[in-house]
Structure 1
Amino acid sequence: MDINKRKQKFELIKGLILITKISLASGVSWELAKMLGSKHPYLAPLTVILSIQETIQHSAVYAFYRITGTLFGIAVTIFFIKHLEVNGWTIGSLLTMGTVLPVVLRLHKTIIHQISLTILLVFVFVHKTNYYVSDRIRDTIIGALVAIIIHIIIVPPNYVKEARRTVTQFGIDLGQLLKKVAYWVNNNCTFVEGENLIEDTTNLLQELHEVEKEFRKAEKSLRLNPFVRNKKQLLKQNEQFLFQLKHGYTYISGVLTTFNEWSETNSLPTVDRQKWAVQLQALGEYITEQANKNLENHSINKSSLDLLDLSSIPLQISIPPELESPRYQLSLYNDTLKFIEKLGTRRY
């Protein structure tokens, strides 16, 4: 099964689990609210539907925001209920008064939204039933607790596998890019192909950003999750792999520019091109191999934290002895020159 099919299967399973959790938690919270005397039991499943988020931590934070906003909104509204009629102007005025302080205090926007919603509904419904305020407080708490408990005990969210899938794909794509650059170098560094490789490098950078987002999501999914076992170690292992691949991306984006500029001087010897092509091909094959191993490895292997030990790859190229000493100065000079040239570039 290739990586794209794995992703589709994962998304389908994730969606079915989410539906199951929302449905079960909504039913349980409704019955529990009725059992405790609620006249508006729909408020409990409403909180469930809103509170079940991507991770347990997200769900807990949202539930806290909803409860806080509900209590604050009720506290504001309760003083004006008997003195104001229900119409658009009183609702607008009450919403303004009730949300000014939270905005000044820079509370989270979710709390402000919940305060506004509570003010509106409490102000309208309390004129029709005296039970709405107590029901809203109780049912909101019931829904929040049920949502979090169900989220924890029924297949708690865990995005470590997804993070490993994305970093593996990134490793495979990086390896392919290295091999493409090797072929390009061995074939006279043509301009058109060089432009295509630069575009590939830009696309790979976007992919890297997506991988980093998946890792942040995976890290959050392990918080408040009581069933993580070795998942933290597995995530750390893949984070180390990603760290090394990021160095690989920095390397290939740099040498691609250097080869492009070198070829424009018409001073790139055939022998050097061939040696560099062999070196880049070896790096590409090694990274691709390690990425595939990472996908197949389902266990925690302490030695795998050194996945990309590039010392195992022989250096295919060499420089004359007289250049050994000034090579650092030349490298700094080249990097500084490129930076200054980019500073002078204007994009409109």
Structure 2
Amino acid sequence: MRYLPHVSPSAVASRLRERARTPGWKADGMQMVKAAVAAVVAWLLASRIPGLEQAFLAPWIALLTVHATVHRTIWRGAQTVLATVLGVVLAAGVVGMVGASALALGVAVLVGLLLARLGVLHAEGITVATTALFVITAGYATGGQPPLIDRLAETGIGVGVALLVNVVVVPPLNDRSAQEQVDHVNRRLGELMQDMAYEMRTPWESQSEQDWIERSRSIDSDIQRAWSLVRLASESATWNPRGRRHPSQAQGYAEVLVRLEEGVAHVRSMARQVRESSRSAQQWEPVFAERFVDLLDRTGEAVADPDAGVADLRQEVDALAVELSGEDLPGMLWPLYGALIANLRIVITVVDDVATARPVRT
């Protein structure tokens, strides 16, 4: 039987407090609060309108419609209205044909799931089917004409409240979350380069080149998450009242990520070349090894802090290439040294470009 490691409650609380201070968690927390507020307000409004005896759709639709951005709330709100209307009409049609029964429920859910495959409704998933299910199981169809107007009114209330809440209650711009993720990528890539340099100062057998490669792939995943946050930050400024006072920096982050993708690729290339060199038991010349590893370590520091200058590093890499051209080195090592120097020089250029394109910090 496996036992999970013991984690003290204080450690858990400390981690939660630390994560709760991050922009991403703050945005998520605000989103949850807004969704809850929208659902409650929609319920209160719908339940106080005469004739709406089963106002269950209003809070449910409000919950579905509150999204991370005003733009997405409006767009997805329109899709939600369409899906809900189809669900209500579908329920009415099926009940009208076969009566309020288990068969009606099964047919409505099946047809609703098929309609969910339509392109315009794809983002709404099973909203058509669940709406039909709710309407039928709520018992509104009892053989007479179903109150379609009531159901549609509840849907309108839910969407309207969701949009109002998302506009009024601190509509987020999400730039901070994007900035946080970009900084995380910078730190991880810089730490990887520094760890590579540290291990390259040790004997070959103690190096873990494959781990370096896997870590670089993990950083690629972080970059993909950063891209999603950058796209969200750009979208969050659309139709957002705050966007006029605080323009989004998403374009600057996008330029940074493009360069970071190149930097990760070149660091991974260096890791693979070191791995192949260790497999063939090639002993590096001290005149190259010591200088290169030192430059790799210092470049890692610069990657972790892209605001740092890298002009000296570029000059030293160029000087190393010039000096090696006059050395009498084994012919088989020249391709390796040249490739490593070229990769490192490109990474240094990436760091410089990142610092230039870096959005102004807030």
TM-score range, shorter chain: 0.7 to 0.9
**Between 175-184 and 193-202, the greater mean CA deviation after superposition:** 193-202
Match of 1:313 in 2: 314
Match of 2:348 in 1: none
Match of 1:118 in 2: 131
TM-score by length of 1: 0.74
Which of these residues, 63, 67, 72, is aligned with residue 49 of structure 1? 63
Instruction: Tell which has more relative contact order, 1 or 2 (C-alpha 8 A, sep 6+).
Output: 1
Contact 2:66 2:73 in 1 (8 A): yes
How far off its partner does 1:16 sit?
Answer: 4.2
Distance 1:261 1:68, change over 3 A: same
Which AA in structure 2 matches 1:89? L
Contact 1:68 1:111 in 2 (8 A): no
Contact 1:67 1:140 in 2 (8 A): yes
How far off its partner does 1:163 sit?
Answer: 1.2
For residues 256 and 112 of structure 2, what CA distance do their matches in structure 1 show?
50
Match of 1:283 in 2: 299
Please provide the CA RMSD for this pair: 3.6
Superimposed CA distance per residue, residues 258-311 of structure 1 (whole angstroms, 9 cap, x where no aligned partner): 223234342421111012112212211222222xx5xxxxxxxxxxxxx88768
Distance 1:176 1:76, change over 3 A: closer
For residues 265 and 214 of structure 2, what CA distance do their matches in structure 1 show?
15
Distance 1:132 1:309, change over 3 A: farther
Q: Does 1:174 align with 2:189?
A: yes
Which AA in structure 2 matches 1:93? V
**Between 270-279 and 67-76, the greater mean CA deviation after superposition:** 67-76
**Between 11-20 and 47-56, the greater mean CA deviation after superposition:** 11-20
How far off its partner does 1:3 sit?
Answer: 11
Which of these residues, 160, 163, 166, is aligned with residue 148 of structure 1? 163
Which of these residues, 206, 211, 216, is aligned with residue 201 of structure 1? 216
**Residues 1-348 of structure 1: pairs in structure 2 closer than 5 A:** 7-10=19-22, 13-34=26-47, 36-37=49-50, 38-79=52-93, 81-96=95-110, 102=115, 105-109=118-122, 113-123=126-136, 124-127=139-142, 132-190=147-205, 192-229=207-244, 232-263=247-278, 264-290=280-306, 293=307, 313-316=314-317, 317-318=320-321, 319-320=324-325
Distance 1:82 1:149, change over 3 A: same
Match of 1:339 in 2: none
Q: Alignment identity in percent? A: 17
SS in 2 for 1:218: helix
SS in 1 for 2:85: helix
In the alignment, structure 2 segments of 5+ residues that lack a partner are 1-13, 329-334, 341-362
For residues 167 and 29 of structure 2, what CA distance do their matches in structure 1 show?
16
How far off its partner does 1:128 sit?
Answer: 7.9
Superimposed CA distance per residue, residues 216-268 of structure 1 (whole angstroms, 9 cap, x where no aligned partner): 33333333322124655522222222222222211211112122323434242
For residues 277 and 111 of structure 2, what CA distance do their matches in structure 1 show?
67
Superimposed CA distance per residue, residues 86-140 of structure 1 (whole angstroms, 9 cap, x where no aligned partner): 221233234445665x367555245562332333344441218867422110110
Superimposed CA distance per residue, residues 148-200 of structure 1 (whole angstroms, 9 cap, x where no aligned partner): 11111111133211111111121112112112222333445445433443343
For residues 192 and 288 of structure 1, what CA distance do their matches in structure 2 show?
22
For residues 230 and 252 of structure 1, what CA distance do their matches in structure 2 show?
39
Distance 1:216 1:4, change over 3 A: farther
TM-score by length of 2: 0.72
Distance 1:5 1:195, change over 3 A: farther
Contact 1:182 1:278 in 2 (8 A): yes
SS in 2 for 1:178: helix
Distance 1:44 1:310, change over 3 A: farther
For residues 16 and 132 of structure 2, what CA distance do their matches in structure 1 show?
46
For residues 98 and 209 of structure 2, what CA distance do their matches in structure 1 show?
72
How far off its partner does 1:75 sit?
Answer: 3.3
SS in 2 for 1:108: helix
How far off its partner does 1:19 sit?
Answer: 4.2
How far off its partner does 1:334 sit?
Answer: 8.0
For residues 104 and 13 of structure 1, what CA distance do their matches in structure 2 show?
34
Contact 2:199 2:206 in 1 (8 A): no
For residues 248 and 112 of structure 2, what CA distance do their matches in structure 1 show?
47
Which AA in structure 2 matches 1:215? V
In the alignment, structure 1 segments of 5+ residues that lack a partner are 294-306, 324-329, 336-348
Distance 1:283 1:220, change over 3 A: same
Contact 2:175 2:248 in 1 (8 A): no
